[in-house]
Structure 1
Amino acid sequence: MLLYKETEDKVEFKEAKGGNFSFNGGNRTDPKERRRCIIGYVIAFANEGGGKLAFGIHDKHPHKVVGTNQCLNEIGKLEQDIYRETKIRVDVEELFDSNNNRVLVLSIPGRPPGKVYKFEDVPLMRIGEELLAMSDEQHIKIIQEQEPDFSQTICVGLSINDLDPQAIVRMKEAYSKKQDNPLFLTLESKQALTDLHLINNNKITYAALILLAKEEVIKKYLPQSSIYLEYRNDAGQITFDDRYLFSKPYFLAVDELWNVINLRNSKVPVQEGPYIFDIPYFNKEVIREAINNAIAHRDYRRTSEVVIKQYPQALYIISPGGFPIGVSLKNLLTVSSTPRNRLLADVLAKTGIVERSGQGVDKIFYQSISEGKGAPDYSSSDDFQVQLGLSSIVKDRAFALFITKLQQERADKLSVQEILFLDAIREGKAKEDLEKAIGEKLFNEGLIEKVGKTKRQQWRLSKSYYSFTNKEADYTKNTPIDDSFVLMKIGQYLKSFNRAKMGKFVELFEDHLTRDQVKTIVYRLSATRYLDYSGKGTGREYFLAKTTVNTNRLMERAIQVGIEELRKRGELSIEVLKNEKESEVK
């Protein structure tokens, strides 16, 4: 490392002997000084394609090891803090020379295509000793970048003899079936590969290698295209109980992968009237589509493999490289993106291995939510990897039944966005977090209802959901209380305890109304002379007004007189009440 040159070898040396090099600018006020910190250099190096930041080496040439206390005994914390601030995965290591001088080295990866990192809203680059704002021209050039299609690249040295004949047969059969083209089966292998553009000008592409090459050939030319499957019986385990490595051509590996996952699969029986079906812990279509996405959209230039981690209650698929350009967590279900490996994705689509472009994620969401398992989890993804989490737990069997019933009865099936909306309401998401147009459509179709008034109005699932799932009591409990109910409760309370401060009324309705709503109602009852009060501020107490008390007594007397009159006429007796009760039971 001492022989490295800062510009040519993309390395920055910092003495930092005392270990006081700023992490994020500290208390400095000058923007130029604030940038000269660990985060500033991480941002700049990532923007320039990656590099190394070394502490404990004199920055003047010739470089000399002086040692450093920078982040001593805090390597793990430093990696976590950098990731928290930048979402960049930096590797940190300690090196020691013959005199036991400690050197701290940060290995910073390059940015993904089309991505610019910023420090305090400024895209940085290294210019000599300075960290300066990137020029507008360079900034625009980066954000207009397009990812090259790695799968279309020629794999130098690969010949048709390196391809697995069984995999080629499997590909031809799949294409023939999907395209309803039996003549494709009669083509020679080279012609079939050429027709699918897996061979270009008599040269074989990396897409052909990944999909069709022999196992030993894949390990030689592109070992990172292998897939690891790890099984752990407990989510807290560090070591795995079983581990499998799949290095076969993907046309052969795809079925084997599912078979191994399915060894530990089970199912949840669901039944309600005529609706009888089983919900698997792990849905075959969902798992296969998720793995296919990882293979088609991962970044093969990164030397990491796709890793699948299976647990009894969850499964995670981790693939190298972030989302393709233009895709984010927010637009995952709505954006039309350019596949990172277009040729590979096209072949998988034409052979029916994956859904047509842009439909795979829809299917993953649709099936998972329809089975009552909730939405798939992509929240741990970043610019350097995509992580998909799938639950095997059926959180709400009733919801799964309800969606199944709806889809069977409707000519116009619910879309994935509409099912996602219904699931969000089921989980109690706030109305402002949901798309208004979808809500209005489902409201007009009678699938959801509006609850409350004005700004506090929310959505809830319709009465038909609660009736179908035998949750009528939940529907009633969630129904907003009306003014007559509030009036009755306040009247009952004051009749028993005579007086009450505002806080007692808030407690009385804590499960139904906010403090502001209670105050508004109490003020209105005071204005209409239903309630009277004494005292000021926090000491104010409310009580029933004299006119209210007199009116209540009059109403009670009227009811009593009415009952007595009915008894005199023989229209009200224990026998009459008993007969009416028996009639209701029948």
Structure 2
Amino acid sequence: MSMITIDILKKLKESEDKVEFKKGEGGNISYDGGSKLKPSDRRRCILGYVTALCNEEGGCLVIGMSDNYPHEVIGTNQNLDSIGELESTIYRDTGIRPKVFELYENQKRVLVIEVPSRPAGKVFKFEDVALMRVGEELKPMSDAVYLKIIQEQEPDFSQQYCEGLSVTDLDEKAISILKEKYALKQNNPNFKRLSNEQLLSDLDLLKNGKLTNAALILLAKKEVLNEKLPQAAVMLEYRNAENQISFDNRIPFSEPFFILIDQLWNTINLRNGSFPIQDGAYIFNIPFFNEAVIRESINNAITHRDYRRTSEIVVKQFPQRLDILNAGGFPSGVNLENLLKTPSTPRNRLLADVLQKTGIVERSGQGVDKIFYNTLIEGKAEPDYSKSDYFQVNLKLSAVIEDRAFALFIVAVQEGLPETEKLSVLEVITLNMIKKNAAKRDLDFEIVSKLLEKKLIEKRGKTNAIYYILSKDYYEFTDEKAKYYNLQELDESQVLTRVLQFLSKESRAKMKDFVGLFEDKLSRKQVRFRIEKFVTNKILKQEGEGSSSVYEIGENFINEIEVISEALSLGLKQLEKNNTKKNVMARKRPEKDQ
């Protein structure tokens, strides 16, 4: 909860301190403007003020206090017993994550909606209008302010000087680890003999005699880091069940990064299990939590988080799932759709550069690739970023192996390919999408072409009904070869068999019924062509025209089937008679021989 108190609120000034006071005596502040006709009147609602305050880089909407200075407590019933619901509906309707809480003075209730600052370059709107506060009014943002905001670049927090931080405030063990890793990555043992000042200067952690925030986060002693940047801590919470709200154990990690990262992984690994996977006589174990994935996810969180926000990184560990939440949304230009295709610009460039030069991360922007690749090749579900927004990144990692065969298939493929042709992360993701029957329009044509060349997928269907399946090798790992052959393109006799099976149960059908029968295999045009051919050959009978046409099995075809059935019946009877005669003759023959 926020550190705001009623005594602090009484002394705040609306414009200077970015606070909006409303009496709301009867709980009468409209949520969204309600039935008011004029846009200027509708804006004076909870959503309007939240939007404007967010655009002003954060602030508070206070309901239940007078707007005259010093602000007197009036008391309000606004959203009494529903503050959790208010918080979630504001987030649903605006994408802004507020904190809503109550304060009391002499039994009088005050409702505070604490609004976070907008991310750099992002403007929020109410009813498609970007709002700003002007005196007592909420007005459309001026063009000059709007342009200034959308052209903003996020400052590199890690590059800024950390006032008052000295070399003696740094942890010797953390510096020693940094030297080791730097020397190893650069293949130069002499780096280990550099003085601390020289090393820090070479890595731009020390500039003009001043240490940066990156030096603080990576190397500062625990007590110094806690004092100067407490939000740099990582909280590890363990819960025995995924639907559990309160944690069973909570461990804070507030050491410098070069010490923290190993301690954090080792603690997570204490509760790590594994799944045994068998391929013939060979058994290998896939851990619930892959070390490379977890380390990379935490490295990403530390590199990309917004250190101006006061919340820590939180790692929630469950027996078979792990969530990582960090403050600040995706870096500029990155969203859920382009997460893997757009090279990300780290929010803390200097921090990222040091981690790259010391081999902690491979190169900037590649972390998410690694997370996806290492997760999918173990047959687990894709990493889930869907709960992320402009204010936080929320990554969910499942420990459960959904498809053992896919893991074996990818391992076998990679082992059989030369180094220069190994599967990329996007190729593995595309294989996973094809396995899940993704539509052709959702696949990258260039990647699909490469996979066809490598004979890892096969094309089925024609024109609009083209679809792809994994190669026969995958179905051999699943022990479902029959399923592979079932996915082969349908020939005319297979289409007819399915149509007749349907009509034998339903007796009559429309064209849309037939299209539904083959929606995953044939286009509407291909189905219509075959049905019309069956009508021409009098296998099917058509009544009506156009969309009102109804089809049933043709009388000629029924007659033919009856003739064939009768012939088969006669044939079987004759066969039975012949067999009986042969058996009688066979029994008589030995008597003659005697």
Contact 2:376/2:382 (8 A) holds in 1:
yes
Q: Deviations over 1:276-299 (max 9, x none)?
A: 532111111111111111111111
| Unaligned ranges ≥5, structure 2 | 1-8, 584-594
Contact 2:345/2:364 (8 A) holds in 1:
no
Given candidates 379, 386, 391, the residue that maps to 1:372 is: 379
Q: Which stretch of structure 1 is more off in the superposition, 506-515 or 277-286?
A: 506-515
Amino acid at match of 1:37: C
1:369-408 residue pairs with structure 2 within 5 A?
Answer: 369-408=376-415
1:198 aligns with 2:205: yes
| Unaligned ranges ≥5, structure 1 | 575-586
Q: Which residue number in structure 1 is paired with residue 471 of structure 2?
A: 462
1:54 aligns with 2:35: no
- Secondary structure of 1:230's counterpart equals strand
- Secondary structure of 2:476's counterpart equals helix
How many Å separate the matches in 2 of 1:543 and 1:339? 64
1:530 aligns with 2:545: no
Contact 1:57/1:67 (8 A) holds in 2:
yes
- Secondary structure of 2:308's counterpart equals coil
How many Å separate the matches in 1 of 2:384 and 2:558? 58
Q: Which residue number in structure 2 is paired with residue 579 of structure 1?
A: none
1:438 aligns with 2:452: no
Q: Which stretch of structure 1 is more off in the superposition, 174-183 or 326-335?
A: 326-335
- Secondary structure of 2:79's counterpart equals coil
Q: Which residue number in structure 2 is paired with residue 81 of structure 1?
A: 89
Q: CA deviation at 1:533?
A: 5.7
Q: Judging changes above 3 Å, is the alpha-carbon distance between structure 1 residues 270 and 30 closer, same or farther for their aligned structure 2 residues?
A: same
How many Å separate the matches in 2 of 1:348 and 1:309? 24
- Secondary structure of 2:315's counterpart equals strand
Q: Judging changes above 3 Å, is the alpha-carbon distance between structure 1 residues 22 and 479 closer, same or farther for their aligned structure 2 residues?
A: farther
1:288-367 residue pairs with structure 2 within 5 A?
Answer: 288-367=295-374
1:169 aligns with 2:186: no
Amino acid at match of 2:240: N
Q: Deviations over 1:250-269 (max 9, x none)?
A: 11121111111111112222
Q: Deviations over 1:12-46 (max 9, x none)?
A: 22233232322123233433233222111111110
How many Å separate the matches in 2 of 1:10 and 1:491? 72
Amino acid at match of 1:436: F
Amino acid at match of 2:434: I
- Secondary structure of 1:54's counterpart equals strand
Q: Deviations over 1:127-168 (max 9, x none)?
A: 222222212222221121111111122222221111111211
How many Å separate the matches in 1 of 2:548 and 2:232? 73
Contact 2:465/2:523 (8 A) holds in 1:
no
- Secondary structure of 2:97's counterpart equals coil
Q: Which residue number in structure 1 is paired with residue 485 of structure 2?
A: 476
Amino acid at match of 1:196: L
How many Å separate the matches in 2 of 1:36 and 1:460? 55
Q: Judging changes above 3 Å, is the alpha-carbon distance between structure 1 residues 392 and 338 closer, same or farther for their aligned structure 2 residues?
A: same
Q: Judging changes above 3 Å, is the alpha-carbon distance between structure 1 residues 312 and 62 closer, same or farther for their aligned structure 2 residues?
A: closer
- Secondary structure of 2:236's counterpart equals strand
Contact 1:212/1:250 (8 A) holds in 2:
yes
Q: Which residue number in structure 1 is paired with residue 591 of structure 2?
A: none
Q: Deviations over 1:477-503 (max 9, x none)?
A: 444543312323555677x78x81227
Q: Which residue number in structure 2 is paired with residue 584 of structure 1?
A: none
Q: Which residue number in structure 2 is paired with residue 179 of structure 1?
A: 186
The two structures have a TM-score, normalised by structure 1, of 0.88
Q: Deviations over 1:296-317 (max 9, x none)?
A: 1111111211111111111111
- Secondary structure of 2:123's counterpart equals coil
Q: Which residue number in structure 2 is paired with residue 421 of structure 1?
A: 430
Q: Which residue number in structure 2 is paired with residue 449 of structure 1?
A: 458
Q: Judging changes above 3 Å, is the alpha-carbon distance between structure 1 residues 509 and 139 closer, same or farther for their aligned structure 2 residues?
A: closer
Amino acid at match of 1:363: K
Q: Judging changes above 3 Å, is the alpha-carbon distance between structure 1 residues 534 and 166 closer, same or farther for their aligned structure 2 residues?
A: closer
Contact 2:499/2:514 (8 A) holds in 1:
no
1:27 aligns with 2:23: no
How many Å separate the matches in 2 of 1:302 and 1:529? 74
How many Å separate the matches in 2 of 1:473 and 1:377? 32
Contact 1:232/1:241 (8 A) holds in 2:
yes
Given candidates 142, 153, 156, the residue that maps to 1:146 is: 153
Q: Judging changes above 3 Å, is the alpha-carbon distance between structure 1 residues 42 and 489 closer, same or farther for their aligned structure 2 residues?
A: closer
Q: Judging changes above 3 Å, is the alpha-carbon distance between structure 1 residues 545 and 222 closer, same or farther for their aligned structure 2 residues?
A: closer
Q: Which residue number in structure 1 is paired with residue 26 of structure 2?
A: 18
Q: CA deviation at 1:173?
A: 0.8
Q: CA deviation at 1:373?
A: 0.5
How many Å separate the matches in 1 of 2:259 and 2:70? 55
Given candidates 39, 43, 46, the residue that maps to 2:47 is: 39
How many Å separate the matches in 2 of 1:539 and 1:188? 87
Contact 2:55/2:118 (8 A) holds in 1:
yes
Q: Judging changes above 3 Å, is the alpha-carbon distance between structure 1 residues 213 and 521 closer, same or farther for their aligned structure 2 residues?
A: same
Contact 1:402/1:469 (8 A) holds in 2:
no
Q: Judging changes above 3 Å, is the alpha-carbon distance between structure 1 residues 434 and 29 closer, same or farther for their aligned structure 2 residues?
A: farther
Q: Judging changes above 3 Å, is the alpha-carbon distance between structure 1 residues 62 and 264 closer, same or farther for their aligned structure 2 residues?
A: closer
Amino acid at match of 1:8: E
Q: Judging changes above 3 Å, is the alpha-carbon distance between structure 1 residues 444 and 24 closer, same or farther for their aligned structure 2 residues?
A: farther
Q: Judging changes above 3 Å, is the alpha-carbon distance between structure 1 residues 126 and 501 closer, same or farther for their aligned structure 2 residues?
A: same
Amino acid at match of 1:207: A
1:72 aligns with 2:76: no
How many Å separate the matches in 2 of 1:551 and 1:80? 67
How many Å separate the matches in 1 of 2:372 and 2:109? 49
Q: Judging changes above 3 Å, is the alpha-carbon distance between structure 1 residues 63 and 185 closer, same or farther for their aligned structure 2 residues?
A: closer
Contact 2:510/2:551 (8 A) holds in 1:
no
1:264 aligns with 2:271: yes
- Secondary structure of 2:341's counterpart equals coil
Q: Which residue number in structure 2 is paired with residue 582 of structure 1?
A: none
- Secondary structure of 2:374's counterpart equals helix
- Secondary structure of 1:354's counterpart equals coil
Q: CA deviation at 1:560?
A: 8.2
Q: Deviations over 1:420-461 (max 9, x none)?
A: 111122223333333233223323432223333443433222
Q: Which stretch of structure 1 is more off in the superposition, 194-203 or 361-370?
A: 194-203
Contact 1:500/1:541 (8 A) holds in 2:
no
Given candidates 459, 468, 485, the residue that maps to 2:494 is: 485
Aligned residue pairs total: 569
Q: Judging changes above 3 Å, is the alpha-carbon distance between structure 1 residues 528 and 19 closer, same or farther for their aligned structure 2 residues?
A: farther
Q: Which residue number in structure 2 is paired with residue 583 of structure 1?
A: none
Amino acid at match of 1:446: K
Amino acid at match of 1:449: E
Q: Judging changes above 3 Å, is the alpha-carbon distance between structure 1 residues 491 and 177 closer, same or farther for their aligned structure 2 residues?
A: closer
Q: CA deviation at 1:8?
A: 1.7
Q: Judging changes above 3 Å, is the alpha-carbon distance between structure 1 residues 538 and 125 closer, same or farther for their aligned structure 2 residues?
A: closer
Contact 2:238/2:249 (8 A) holds in 1:
yes
Given candidates 217, 221, 231, the residue that maps to 2:224 is: 217
Contact 2:540/2:557 (8 A) holds in 1:
yes
How many Å separate the matches in 2 of 1:538 and 1:55? 60
Q: CA deviation at 1:476?
A: 3.3
RMSD of aligned Cα (Å): 3.3
How many Å separate the matches in 1 of 2:274 and 2:91? 38
Contact 1:174/1:351 (8 A) holds in 2:
yes
How many Å separate the matches in 2 of 1:158 and 1:62? 39
